[in-house]
Structure 1
Amino acid sequence: MIPLFYDFHIHSCLSPCGDDDMTPANLVGMAAVKGLDVIALTDHNSCKNCPAALYHGARYGVTVLPGMELTTAEEVHVICLFSSLEDAMAFDAFVYGKLMPVPNREDIFGKQQIMNEKDEVTGTVEYLLINATSISFDEVFSLVEEFHGIAYPAHVDKSSTSLISNLGFVPPGSTFTCAEFHDFKNLHRLRREHPYFEQCNVICCSDAHYLEDIHEPEYQIYSASGQIPDILEALRRREP
C-alpha cells in the first residue's frame, strides 16, 4: 500500500458558486504546486469539466478522479466518483435529466462555464446546477454503482446540505462505507452521536471553490497504487 495526499472535493468554474479562476488547468496546477497526489473534480450535479481536468492531470502528474457533487431530492450533498471518464459522462447525462428544469441566472447565481483543455469557454449549462435532483438519498448509492462508481455523503459535519443537517440521522439500511468530513475536529462528536460512522472510512476534504482553499498535503489515503480503480477501492474499504 502506498500513501497518497488527496483532496476529493474540488469545484471548478462550472459550479455557479465556483470562482472564475477555478479553471481545470488552474485547479489541477494548484494541486500539483501544493504537492497533492490525487484530487477529484466534483462540480454540482455535473461532470462536464472533467475531460479538461483529466487532461491537465496527465500533464501535471496529478491523478484526477472524475466526479460530481450530487444534490439529492432531500437536498443532501453526495460525492460520486467514477472509475472512468466515460462512466462519469454517462452519469452526467443521466443526472441532468433528473435536475429541476430551472434556468440559471448568471446575475444572481454565477456563471456555469464549460471549458476545454486550453481553458477556453466552450459553452454554459442552461439549468441551475445547485438545484436538487429527483434522485433520493436511498437510491443514489446503488445507482452510482451501476455506473461503476462509488458514492458517499459529503461534509457530514456541515450545518447545511449534509446528511445530518438535512435528515438528522443515518437512514436504516444505509450501505455507504465512506463519509466525508470538512473538519476532523467534529469526527469524535459525530461518531458518538451517530455510531454508523464508526464503521466508515472517513476522509477530510476542502470543498474548495477558490484556488487557495484546495488542501495542503495534510491528509493521506492508503491505496494499492495511484491508479483510479485502486483509489476507489481504498475509499470503499470499511473500517475494521
Structure 2
Amino acid sequence: MQRISYDLHIHSCLSPCGSDESTPGNIVGMAVVAGLDAIAVTDHNSCLNLPAVMSLAEAYGITAVPGMELTTSEEVHVLCYFRSLDDAMDFSGYVAEHSMYIENRPEFFGEQLIMDADDNITGKEKRLLHTASQISFDDVFKLLKGFHGLMVPAHINKSTTSVLSNLGMLPDDSEFTAVEIQTPDKIQELRERFPYLQRCHILTSSDAHYLSDIQDPVHFLHVEENSPSGILDSLSSYL
C-alpha cells in the first residue's frame, strides 16, 4: 500500500461557476506545484475538459481521475469517478441526453469554456450545466456501475445541494461506499448521527472553483496503485 495526497473535487472553466483562469493547464500546473499526487476535475454535468486534463496530467506525472459532479433530479450533487476517460465521456453523453436543454446565459452564469491541452478555447458549451438532470439520486449507484464508475455523494454536510440538505436523510437502501464531507472536524459527529457512514470512506476535497482554492497535500488515501483504477478500488469496498 502507498499513501497518496489528493484533491478529488476541482472545477475547471467549463463549470459555469468556475473561474476562466481554471484552465486544464493551470489546474494541473497548480496541483504539481502544490505537491499533490492525485486530482480529479469534476465539472458540473459534463466531462468535456477531461481529455485535456488527462493528457496534461500524464505529461506532468500526476494522476488524474476522470470525474464529474452530477446534479440529480432532486438537485443533490454527486461526485462520479471513472476508471477510464472513455467511460467518463460516455457518461457525459448520457447525462446530456437525460437533461433538459436550457441555454446558458454567460452574462448571468459565466462562460462554459472547452479547452485543449494547450489551453486554447475550442468551444463553449451552450447548454447550461448548472441545471438538474433527469437522473434520480436513487438510481445513480447502479447507473454508474454500467459505466465502471463510483458514486460519492458530494459535501454531504453542506446546507444546499447535498443529500442531507435536500433529502434530509441517507436512504436506508444506500449502497455507496464513500462520501465527501466539507470539513474533517465533522466526521465523528456525522458518523454518530448516521451509522451508515461508519462503513464509508470519507473524502475531504477543496471543491475548488478558483486556482487558489486547490488544496495542499493535507488529505491522504492508502492505495495499492496511484492510478484511477487503484484509487477507485480503494474506495469501492466498505470499511
Map 1:210-225 onto structure 2 (within 5 A): 210-225=210-225
Distance in 1, matches of 2:79 and 2:66, equals 11
Residue 228 of structure 1 deviates from its aligned partner by: 1.5
Question: Is 1:82–2:107 an aligned residue pair?
Answer: no
Residue 207 of structure 1 aligns with which residue? 207
Q: Supply the RMSD in Å over aligned alpha carbons.
A: 0.7
How far off its partner does 1:194 sit?
A: 1.3
State the partner residue of 1:59: 59
CA distance in 2, matches of 1:205, 1:236: 18
Counterpart contact for 2:37–2:62, Cα < 8 Å: yes
Gaps of 5+ in 2: none
Output the CA distance in 2 between the equivalents of 1:227 and 1:107.
Answer: 39
Distance, in Å, in 2 between the alignment partners of 1:34 and 1:152 is: 24
Which amino acid in 2 is paired with 1:184?
P
Cα distance in structure 2, aligned partners of 1:203 and 1:127: 30
State the match for 1:96 in structure 2: 96
The separation in 2 between residues aligned to 1:237 and 1:226, in whole angstroms, is 17
Indicate the SS of the match to 1:43.
coil
Secondary structure of the residue that 1:44 maps to in structure 2? coil
Letter matched to residue 217 of structure 2: P
Give the superposition deviation at 1:118: 0.8
3-state SS of 1:133 partner: coil
> Could you tell me which residue of structure 2 aligns to residue 36 of structure 1?
36
- Secondary structure in structure 2 of the residue aligned to 1:139: helix
**Count of aligned positions:** 239
Q: Distance in 2 between matches of 1:3 and 1:237?
A: 18
Contact 2:112 2:125 in 1 (8 A): yes
User: What residue is the counterpart of 1:187 in the other structure?
Assistant: 187
Deviation at 1:190, TM superposition (A): 1.3
- Partner AA of 2:6 in structure 1: Y
Measured in 2, the distance between the counterparts of 1:180 and 1:226 equals: 20
Displacement of 1:56:
0.8
Aligned position for 2:197: 197
For residues 237 and 8 of structure 1, the distance between their equivalents in structure 2, rounded to whole angstroms, comes to 18
Pairwise mapping of residues 69-148 of structure 1 onto structure 2 (< 5 A)? 69-148=69-148
Which residue in 1 is equivalent to 2:27?
Answer: 27
What is the CA deviation profile of residues 175-196 of structure 1, one whole-angstrom value per residue up to 9, with x for unaligned ones? 0000011111111221121111
Q: Tell me the alpha carbon deviations over residues 68-110 of structure 1, each in whole angstroms, 9 at most, x when there is no partner.
A: 0000000000000111101110000000011121110000000
Shift of 1:237: 2.6
* 1:32 partner SS: helix
Q: CA deviation at 1:150?
A: 0.5
Q: Which residue in 1 is equivalent to 2:226?
A: 226
Amino acid across the alignment from 2:7: D
Question: How many Å separate the matches in 1 of 2:10 and 2:99?
Answer: 21
Q: How many Å separate the matches in 2 of 1:182 and 1:194?
A: 16
Q: Describe how 1:6-17 pairs up with structure 2 within 5 A.
A: 6-17=6-17
The answer to whether the 8 Å contact 2:66/2:228 transfers is: no
